[in-house]
Every structure is written in C-alpha cells, then in structure tokens.
Structure 1
Amino acid sequence: MMDCKKALQLIPRYIDGELDVAQKEELEKHIESCESCRKEYQLEKNIIESLKNMPPLELPEDFNKKIHEKLVYQKNILEKKKERLKKTLTVAVIAASFILMTVFIANIFSNKSLRIESNAPLDNIKTAQSADLSKKEGANNEAKIFSLTGQRGLPAGTSRKITKNATVSLEVEDVNVCYDKVFKLVKEAEGFIESSDETVFTDNTKRINLVLKVREDKFESVISQIKEFGKVTALRIDSKDVTEQYYDLKARLKNLEIEEQKLQDIMNKASTVKEMLEVESEINRIRSEIESMKEQLKVWENLTSLGTINLSIKEISKVEKPTTLVSFKGIGRDIKQAFVNNVNFLIFLIKKLIIILVIILPYSVLALIGYKVYIYFKKRR
C-alpha cells in the first residue's frame, strides 16, 4: 500500500501524465482512500490549470534594448576581470621565478663543502660552553631558584605543590670518591638513589649516571653541595607549580565521593530491577573516575614531596700531554698544502658558478617570457 509521502511526490508527475500504468493505478487507489492526499491533488491540479489559462504577458517596448545594454555591461566587466587576472598571473610568474632562483642559489651555497670547519675538538667546545654556564650559575647562586605563582583562588595557609627537577653534570678526578660523597649527602638529606649506571671508557676513565630522590625542602641545599664536588659542566633546574590543579582535583574528588554516597542511598531505595541497574551503572562510572583522580593525586604527591636530581659524574683523564716547542719544520710542506687547498677551492667555486648559471637559465627564460607578456598586455591597454 502506497504511503502519503510517496503519493505527494508522485502527484505532480501524475498530473503531467509521466507515470507508468502500475504507478498510476496505485496512486489513484491511494487518492480515493486518503482525503488529505485527495485535497493536495485537487489543489495542485487547480494551480496548474490556472497557470495554463493565464494570458501571456506583454514585454515592454524597450525590453530588447535593456537586455542588450545589460549584456554589454556584463561583457565589459568580464573583460576587465580577465585583464586584471592576466596582470596578476604575469607578476606571479615573475615573483615565483625570482623566489625559485633565490632558493636554489641559497641551497648551493649552503653546501657543507663550502663551510670552514674548526680544528678544535668537539669536547673543547663543550668544555668552553660548560665553563661559561658554570660562571653564570655561580654569579646567580644567591638568586631564588623557584618562583611561586600567585595565591589566587587558594585559601590562606594552603601549602604549595611544586615539582622540582634538576640535571647536573660534573667532571672529577676520581669518580669513586665523588660517588661516595654523593651517597653520603643523599643519605643525610633523607633521600635515596633511585638508579645508578656506570660506564668504563677505553682510557680506563669512568662515568656514573645517577637519579637521586631528595626531600623537597632540602633540594636546593643538596644541589649546592653537589656543585662543590667537581667542575660543573652543565646545570639545569626546572620547577612546575601544580597547586591549583592539585586542590581543584581534590575538590572534584570530594564532590564525586558525596555523589557516590547519594547514589548508594538511592540504590537502597530502588524498587525495580531497572532502577537498580541504572543506578549501579552510574555508581560504577563515578567509582572509575574516583580511582583515576586518586591515582593522579598520588602521582602529584610523590612528585612534590621528593625532588629529582639527574646527576652525571665524568672522570677526567689524569695523563698530561708533554709541552712541545713549535718549530719551523715542515713549513714548506704546509705552504704547498695551503696553495693546493686554495686552488682546489677556486676550482670548486667555478664549478658551482657554472651549475648556478645552468640552474638559472630556464628560470631566466621563464622570467623573460613573463616580462614580454606583461609588456604586451600593457601596450594593449
């Protein structure tokens, strides 16, 4: 049996005689049995007949003239748009060519073979940087390491929750002696060594990496004493205030626990199995959130009660290199080598210039074509 929705869709086609025999018969049966669809059919039929009987409208006398003027106006607008588009494309082609040429030239000159490499070893560079960092740290030794955020939204007397982390690198003559000092210091600070890793190098020197956990109130003191055990080559101290997040989460946890208790009371008063299942499902969801919040609070409490110090102790070699007197021996060989190096660099530079010219050539042609196109359209205008 045809429904009203489908019948309303087929009525216009029925009036126009576009339905097949089966659809036509089915629709006629539906219209006979459905008063609403029958009214809709009569309404559409009357509208179509009224439109067919309407006399044709007479056009104004100047209708053709106005249409022609509008067409000419639209044509002029399109031609102006085309002109602007052509100019824009020409400028874009020239700009793109220039940018591509610049990029290719920059890439060629940034080749690693054109860089002048320093003869100083990497270790010496790191040592110099570390020494500079150590001087800066010593100059700011009396400054406050940690800054507390404002007390906005927190009750008076609320203890701050701050996570503290530090990374310290030391160079010492005897790594074992330094390790013993660190072990004793951490023990006195009521902390512990979380992990320890020792590496022995080919020159029999050692490096020990330690992860120390110390009480939050003794964190700065321990770092200051560790710095005295050797030469500081790297030092980084980070802190993060999680006070607001901590107490906000704690308040949300308390609210969830109250909500859980209320649901338990509702559970006890439930009279149907359906009500009991719905309440139990909600209780399980809230308990899951409560457990997740408790775990997060526990993590923050552990992080804020103990500071973490990542300590790297490197033993420096005790072998001293003998001082030698610089002589003029081999100066002729050095001069020859310098001359060969200069010639090689000159040849290399010429090769690169040739490559640049080859790369620039097609873009120069493209830029020239773009310029010619621009001049052509400029003259036409």
Structure 2
Amino acid sequence: LKGSNVDSSDVTEQFYDLEAHMKNNRVEEEGLQKFLLEKSTTGTLDEILKIRKEIRAIRGEIDRQEGQLQRWSNDSSFATITLTIYEREVPVVAAVPVVPKFVERIRQTFSESLEAMLGVCRELTIAVVAVVPWLPMILLVVVFLWMISPRPRKRIASPPGND
C-alpha cells in the first residue's frame, strides 16, 4: 500500500445532540400550548400574543432541527465509498549473465547459422512465387522481340577461288 486517503464526516454525536434539543423544544412547546389554553380564558390579549410568538419561535426551531436530522439521515442513506487500487510495480532484478561453455557456443552458432540459411531459403521461395505469375507475359514479350528482331543472314559459301 503506497498510501491511503480517508475523508468522512461523522455526525453521530451531533445527530444525537440535535435529537435531544428537539425533544426539549417539543416539551417546551407543549408547556407553552397548555399555558396558552389557560391564558386564553383568563389572560390579556398582550399575554396571549407573547405566548403565541414564543410558540412560533420554538416551532420554527423544531422544524429546522427536523430538517437537519432528515438531511443527515438521507446523507447516510446515500453514502458513497470510492476505492482506488493501484498495482505496485515490482522492480526487475537484472540477471547475472552466464557465459556459455565452448561446446555450447559452437552448438548455438551452428543453430543460428542453420536458422539464417533456412530464412534465406524461405525468402527465395517467396520471391519465386511472386515472379511466377509474370513469367507467361515475360515469355511472350521475349518471343515477340525475337521474332521481329533482324537476324544475320547466313551466307552461302562460295567455292574457293571464285572470288
């Protein structure tokens, strides 16, 4: 392992703290609701409005806390783990060259020479196969040139002394 990188955000402690705060806010909201019911019959309008304002503030805080808890729940549901693995390169150790013995060198040289000779034979065979389709055309051209070329005429030998 060359290295690793872990990036995460653990919100477990924050999650439980927020749940506790939300529970306390709900208890406070319930208490204010009961107090509002009592004051609705005996209290002044100003007292009732103040209690309602407090209830709205606490309700807003509870809603915000519920939203945050929901986001954290969704985030944990959609957690992604990405793992990247690289293969480490293993260094190649150079082998110490082994000097072949005399007999081994002769055998190796003979084998390489024989392989070279076979390679030349293979290439010549390929060259002959490449030329074969052209032979009829070349033969026709040679025959045609031979037929139209002037040939020296044979002289009829005259008897000696008739010159």
Instruction: Report the TM range for the smaller structure's normalisation.
Output: 0.3 to 0.5
- State TM-score, norm by structure 1: 0.20
Which of the pair has the greater relative contact order for Cα pairs under 8 Å at 6+ separation? 1
Comparing both structures, which one devotes a greater share of its residues to strand? 1
- State TM-score, norm by structure 2: 0.45
